[in-house]
Amino acid sequence: MNKISVIIKREYITRVRKKSFLIMTILAPLLMAGLFVLLPILMMNQEGELKKIAVIEDNSDLFKGVIKNTKDAEFVYLENTKVDDLKKTFEKAGYYGILSISPVLISTPNAVQLISKQQPPIGLLQYIESSLKKEIERQKLLSYKIENLDEIMKSIETNVSVQTIKLDSSGSAKKTSTGIAMALAYLNAFIMYMLVFIFGSQVMRGVIEEKTSRVVEVIISSVKPIQLMMGKIVGIALVGLTQFLIWIFLTMAAVTVLKNTVLQKTGQAEITQSIAHNVMSEDQQATITAKTDNISPQLAEFSKMFDSAMNQPWGLIILCFIFYFITGYLLYASVFAAIGSAVDNETETQQFMLPVTIPIIIGLMVAMGTMQNPESSVSFWCSMIPLTSPIVMMARIPFGVPYWQIAVSMVLMLVTFLGFVWMAAKVYRTGILMYGKKTSWKEMWKWLRYNG
Amino acid sequence: MALFEAKNVTKQYGNQLALDNVSISVPEQCIYGLLGPNGAGKTTLIRIINQITGPDSGELFLNGKKLMPEDVQVIGYLPEERGLYKKMKVGEQALYFAQLKGLSKAEAMKRLKYWFKKLDIIDWWGKKVEELSKGMQQKVQFVITVLHEPKLLIFDEPFTGFDHLNTKIVKNEILSLRERGATIIFSTHNMESVEELCDNITLIDKAKTILEGSVDEIRSKWAANEYDLVFDGDVNIEGNGHYIILNQQKESNKSIIRLKTTSDINTNDILQGLMKSGSLISFNPALPSMNEIFIRVVETQN
């Protein structure tokens, strides 16, 4: 046992002392955060070019001015132009496309066409559709001849955002947000995938390094192969956990800072408001309410999100994460170690990597699907099957998973990982001393059954 | 008494027989040569002694007791292919291997300082292994091997990569290790060093033992009735019914002659005849070099 700890210590210290570890630990969260901020911005800017669209109506001007210009699209109403004429020249005239509206639209929904050379973005179509729909509804309402219709319309205009409330078994309700759960699921699955993959392949590279530099022969004459393999795997796992804990710590620090600065303000606003009620005259009160109303909406939205983020089962998430990281990592790392032991250099690993990578990729893909539909049977089964469960289960947990499912998945995981470690150790023991031989799956299967 | 014994060791890899019923017996405080052409099975035997791998059949004894996994503490192994972590610093690495052999950190540190100073490599302590030359790396590896003062040392080709000066230094260290009580198994192709260092040898070819015994005995057994004569001045000798002349040459006013007896004649009788030819300076049985024996034995086997 003492020797294993010497090995673990070396594996841990040589890695943690590397500059790349420090850089990764600090940079990775920044990169992740950057990704989350940048990606939406990039996606929004994709259609940054202003699209000029010619709108032509057949013999009427029912929809003139209905579709308002946006920052992405400008709608130009052309009168006395035939669609067929413009079809040939619209590109030269600087138009992105032609929107042709027939007056029968009010009765038949398909009477609108958007003609363009490129596939128009979905956002543009949705915008046109909803604008036209609103107008048609308005026109239809108008036909009922209701008095003061405009005012009525204004007063009923509302924005709805659904607040989801999840009941847990004890019946207490928690405010949750699907958006937060999705983000969290994505983050969980992705970090799990990254950690298992990055640290798993670090194990493989370590094994190959020892094999090619022949260090292994010196070490194996002092310790058992399984001790060396487990020492390496555990040492690298500790590196991963260290990194993970530093990340959690940094996040918690960031959250605390956020809470004490930004969110403080909403609290203050509410207080001033209630004071206003008691002390001030009605006029003053009105002005202040108006003021606070001005700052509140965004902050209120933010604090709502913050609340529901805090309502996530953080303890469970972190515990499960650590469990699935350790077992999932051990499972894959031992397979990676076996592969590393079977080859002479890194280029030879490819043929073995593919079958190992596939379950991880499937796991990630199912996890992405899980965010759309956490209750699907694919998600359920993949969160039970040990090869994919670390990633998929972590994506499911933010949406709420019955405890028995977590338990079953964990037990399956434990059993499988023990089996994998056992098999990997057998392959490793033989492979590590085998040089200059092209290894095949069949060969590895034979090593599994060697004794001594 | 034999410090280490292997009895009827057989090992098979797939269809290939690596060791076929090989036995060796290594006396205490002896330097034991393990010889043989490439692929003969030497490395397999060494790995079995180190318990890196196990034999299919056969038994191993250390000090008369069955070899146990704990015995790795009293064995030191210098593999043919040097194995050091390239990116690790020399001192740290030596400490690491010493601890794997069961030394405490403080003790390992003390001994390392001693050896590093002795071999004049203390300046490299903080350097990365990849910065060292091959010979330097080998010195470090040598220190790592002997550091825990094992009773049984196994050197696989210890001199490759060393220049003459360092070969001599390491040779002397090996001899003084034996003086201090260590027993050494020494695998090599370099027959000169066998004659210089080894007390006993085993020659393995194609998984089988084909020659074993003490170096002196083997050499005189293979001497095959050949004698070296040196005469003062220019002397010519012709063969007769009792002997034939294999070789004659003149060198700085001396005649060097090798003859081979062909009958059961007594050496005194030959000498009497020869002394008439000129003034004889020396008369020695011609011991074949280990290299000659090695080649002859392997060839006759084939």
CATH number for the domain including A68?
A: 3.40.190.10
Final residue before a domain boundary, out of A115, A136, A157: A136
Choose the closest CB to B96 out of A10, A216, A452.
A10
Sheet architecture: strand order including A97-101: A73-78, A51-57, A97-101, A112-116
A369 shares a domain with A224: yes
Residue A9 neighbours by CB under 8 Å, 6+ apart: A235
Answer yes or no: do B79 and A217 touch at CB < 8 A.
Answer: yes
Does the beta-carbon distance from B97 to A14 stay under 8 Å? no
A313 & A423 share domain: yes
> A235 and A356 share a domain?
yes
First to last CA, chain B: 34
Q: Pick the closest to residue A400 from A317, A334, A329 (CA basis).
A: A317
Q: Which of residues 182-241 of B touch A (CB under 8 A)?
A: none
Residue A319, in any domain of the structure: yes
Token digits of residue B235:
């002397």
- Which two tokens mark A234? 């555990």
Structure tokens at B96: 């690491």
B72 vs A: CB within 8 A: yes
How many C-beta atoms lie closer than 10 Å to residue B126's C-beta?
A: 9
In chain B, residues under CATH classification 3.40.50.300 are 2-214
**Residues A128, A221 within the same domain:** no
How large is the angle between the packed helices A178-212 and A350-372, nearest 10 degrees?
Answer: 170
Q: Check: CB of residue B204 under 8 Å from CB of residue B22.
A: yes
Q: What is the pTM of this model?
A: 0.70
Residue A286 domain-assigned (yes or no): no
Answer yes or no: do A221 and A370 share one domain.
Answer: yes
Answer yes or no: are the C-beta atoms of B87 and B37 closer than 8 Å: no
Number of other residues whose CB lies within 10 A of the CB of residue B197: 22
Task: Say whether A213 and B75 touch across the interface (CB within 8 A).
Answer: no
E strand or H helix at B250, and its extent?
A: strand B243-251
Do A203 and A315 belong together in one domain?
yes
CB proximity B139 to A under 8 Å: no
Same domain, A117 and A204: no
Task: Answer for the pair B260, B270: CB distance below 8 angstroms, yes or no.
Answer: no
CB within 8 Å of chain B, chain A residues 10-49: 10, 14
Is-contact B245 B258, C-beta < 8 A? Answer: yes
B2-214 belongs to which CATH class?
alpha beta
Check CB contact under 8 Å for B99 and A223: no
> Cβ of A215 under 8 Å from any chain B Cβ?
yes
| Residue to test with chain B: of A9, A20, A222, A232, most B Cβ within 10 A | A222
Residues A112 and A217 reside in one and the same domain: no
Residue in B closest to A447 by C-alpha = B14
Could you give the maximum distance between any two Cα atoms of chain B, in Å? 73
**Is the domain of A231 the same as that of A126?**
no
State residue A334 phi and psi, 5-degree precision: -70, -35
Domain co-membership, A356 together with A426: yes
State which residue of chain B sits closest to A14, comparing Cα positions: B88
Q: Are residues A340 and A226 in the same domain?
A: yes
Sign, Cα dihedral of B102, B105, B110, B112: positive
Let me know: does A225 contact A432? Beta carbons within 8 Å: yes
Q: How far is B233 from chain A (nearest CA, A)?
A: 58
Domain with A59 in it: 51-136
- Domain annotation covers residue A266: no
Q: Looking at this predicted complex, what is its ipTM?
A: 0.74
The total number of structural domains in chain A stands at 2
For residues A219 and A108, state if they share a domain.
Answer: no
pLDDT digits (tens, 9 = 90+) for A220-253: 888 888 888 989 999 998 998 888 888 888 877 8
Chain A positions in Cβ-Cβ contact with residue B18 (cut-off 8 Å):
none
Residue A85: which residues within 8 A CB-CB, separation 6 or more?
Answer: none
- Whether A22 maps to a domain, the answer reads no
In a domain? residue A168: no
Name residues of chain A where pLDDT drops below 50. Answer: 269-282, 285-293, 295, 452
Could you say which of A10, A215, A223 has the minimum Cβ distance to residue B84? A215
Tens-digit pLDDT string for chain B (302 aa): 788 999 999 988 777 888 899 999 999 999 999 988 877 888 889 988 888 888 888 999 998 899 888 888 889 999 887 788 888 899 999 999 999 888 899 999 999 999 999 888 888 899 998 898 888 888 899 999 999 889 999 998 888 888 888 888 989 999 999 999 899 998 987 777 888 888 999 988 888 888 888 888 888 888 777 888 888 888 888 877 788 888 888 888 888 888 888 777 777 888 888 888 888 888 888 888 888 888 888 888 77
